[in-house]
Amino acid sequence: MKTSWLKSGIASVALVAATGAAWAEKANDTLRVAFTKELENVDSFFNSSREGVVLQRAIWDGLIYRDPVTNEYKGNLATSWEWIDDTTLELKLREGVTFHNGAPFSADDVVYTVNFVSKEENGVKTQRNVNWMESAEKVDDYTVRIHLKEKFPAAIEFLSGPVSMYPAEYYAEVGPSGMGLEPVGTGPYKVVSVVPGQHFVLEKNENYHDSPKGQPEISNVDIRTIPDVNTQMAELFSGSLDLIWQVPADQAEKLATMDQFTVMNESTMRVGYLNMDAAGRSGDTPVTDLRVRRAINHAINREELVNALLKGKSRVVSTPCFPSQFGCVEEAAKSYEYDPEKAKALLAEAGYPDGFTIDFYAYRDREYAEAIMSYLNAVGIDTDFKFLQYSALREQNMKGEVPLAFLTWGSFSINDASAMVSQFFKHGSLDDARDDQVLEYLNTADSSTDPDTRIENYAKAIERITDQAFWAPMFSYNTNYVFTNDVEYTPTADEVLRFTTMSWN
């Protein structure tokens, strides 16, 4: 008898509403999508959120494209590429491509974009995405050379991911903030209007070049920011949304029982971990002690978190990177089994037989954070819970004021360990470990072109990081995509919504 009256009630209301209204939107050829987080700036170099990546892939193109299914690199704005030497990449560009504002795409645009974003003072949000490039040089109108600072084997991966090409003249004129308000790219969708953080309207680019991304089918995409998942679902029921994503597991399970929606689950590269201030940047907190960090690692029941909370295609992760990434050697990682008794013993050994109190920060998935907190409380670590906005927490973290935080990283869907380990462990402002040995291994791994050397050194770095328990890696995320049966879409494992592969049934 469990809540059956309720379910059938919701279902019937939803059925009536969804069939009625979604019909109309299919007729209008407009796909309505919800974003959960407010996007700070549409300019893809000046945001670090997943929503930004989705828009980036729709509005702009990279020089290269990685097929999300086969992982094969294909030419996009470049047609071919070749390493001249270890630090120089020469690319032949596609001819006849135009930007949304009508400007033709040529080597000048590549040179301008690369030279702009690679300069640290221009303030690209995620430096790791661009700071491997030194500069670009025009050979002729359709040939460019990109000079690297040092050897960087993941260059192709980054060029097919976060580095998109901007129109030189327009970008020089309007800058990042102007680009955020009226974005112009070469991508499959043009931007019709932007209400910052709230509402984005896209329109099919009729002149889209013959790109490996495929041609867009749906004419209009209307994206609204709706922070509350209940509101999103209510709108899905009432037929004013066609697709929602990042739906929490519990809700997705319920939605899956309804006939008019398709629920698809895909794993993502996002890894959830606890960051511990081992270097003591936030003061002499207990987590500077290795035994305490190991105790925290032992206190968390990762299996239970994955099975009961995250569900879907999530898995336990013991590496400070996503296991599918190149160089993310799982065997090298020391994994900490769930053992609260051992955790208590380690705490006692470290001089905290009665535990201690520590500030515990988080910015998303409050529910997971609470569950983690409960594990910590169970071994005697009392937590002062601080739940902040992502940008605020990142800011504090950069200043080194966060002793213990539940963080996540999606690696910008880059299938290379450097996008995660090297992002956080090379003494940058977000590095709370500041370990010289790790830095050394990572420097070697990042700058080598020999795959074996890279694997060996990433493995060493991972071994050192997990042995010293700088982090407590916990699990990988999955995403639930829920859409009405009118929509045809097969999500990919990289947590990027690709409007070009969506169509109406």
Partner 1 sequence: MVDTSTTDSLLREITGPTPGQMLRKRVFGHQGLLFGGIVLAILLFIAIFAPLLAPHDPYAQSLMTRMQPPVFLGGDWEHPLGTDHLGRDYLSRLIYGARVSLMIGAVAALISGVIGTAMGVAAGYFGGRVDMVVTFLINVRLAMPVVLVALAVVAILGGSLQVVIVVLGLLLWDRFAVVMRASTLQVRGREYVAAARAIGASTPRVILSEIMPNIANNLIVVVTLEMAHAILLEAALSFLGLGVQPPTPSWGLMVSEGKNMMLFEPWMVLIPGAVLFLLVLAINLMGDGLRDVTAPENRS
Cβ proximity to partner 1: between 330 and 367 the closer is 367
In the numeric block, the tokens 């995620």 are attached to: 126
Q: Are strands 143-148 and 133-140 parallel, antiparallel or unpaired?
A: antiparallel
Output 309 or 469, the one with its CB closest to partner 1. 309
Of 141 and 367, which CB lies nearer to partner 1 in the complex structure?
Answer: 367
C-beta separation of 247 from 229 below 8 A: yes
Asked if 385 touches partner 1 (CB under 8 A), the answer is yes
> 451-467 and 436-447 helices cross at what angle (nearest 10)?
160
CB-based contacts of 171: which residues, under 8 Å, 6+ apart? 112, 113, 116, 179
Is the CB of 348 or the CB of 371 nearer to partner 1? 371
Q: Does 503 bind partner 1 (CB under 8 A)?
A: no
Choice from 149, 199, 254, 399 touching partner 1 (CB under 8 A): 254
Residue with tokens 């919504």: 497
Q: What are 316's two structure tokens?
A: 């336990």
Q: According to the binding rule CB under 8 A, does residue 230 interact with partner 1?
A: yes
Our CB check for partner 1 shows the closer of 298 and 454 to be 298
Helix/strand/coil for 182: coil
Q: By the 8 A CB rule, do 420 and 458 touch?
A: no
In whole angstroms, give the CA distance from residue 480 to residue 502.
Answer: 16
For every residue of 56-93, which 3-state class applies, written as one string? Answer: HHHHCCECEEECCCCCCEEECCEEEEEEEECCEEEEEE
Site string for partner 1, 341-380 (x = CB under 8 A): -------------------------xx--xx-xxx-xx--
Query: Residue 386, interface with partner 1 (CB under 8 A)?
Result: yes
Interface segment toward partner 1; rule CB under 8 A; list 4-12, 71-79, 411-419, 425-433? 4-12
Least distance to partner 1, CB of residue 358, Å: 13
Binding test (CB under 8 A) with partner 1, winner from 67, 330, 384, 467: 384
User: Is residue 6 a contact point for partner 1 (CB under 8 A)?
Assistant: yes
Least distance in Å: CB of 483 to partner 1? 17
Contact string 304-343 vs partner 1 (x = CB under 8 A): xx-xxx----------------------------------
Question: Among 10, 501, 475, which residue's Cα sits nearest to residue 249?
Answer: 475
Of 154, 233, 347, 414, the one binding partner 1 (CB under 8 A) is: 233
Told to check if 70 binds partner 1 by CB under 8 A, we report no
DSSP letter at 215?
Answer: -
> Cβ of residue 450: shortest distance to partner 1, in angstroms?
44
Confirm or reject binding of residue 139 to partner 1 (CB under 8 A). Answer: no
Which run of H or E residues covers position 399? Answer: none
Q: Which of 85, 141, 150, 250 binds partner 1 (CB under 8 A)?
A: 250
- Roughly how many angstroms between the first and final C-alpha of the chain, as a whole number? 35
H or E element that contains 188: none
Cα 374 to Cα 159: distance, rounded to the nearest angstrom: 42
Residues that bind partner 1 (CB under 8 A): 1-3, 6-7, 10, 229-230, 233-234, 248, 250-251, 254, 301, 304-305, 307-309, 366-367, 370-371, 373-375, 377-378, 384-387
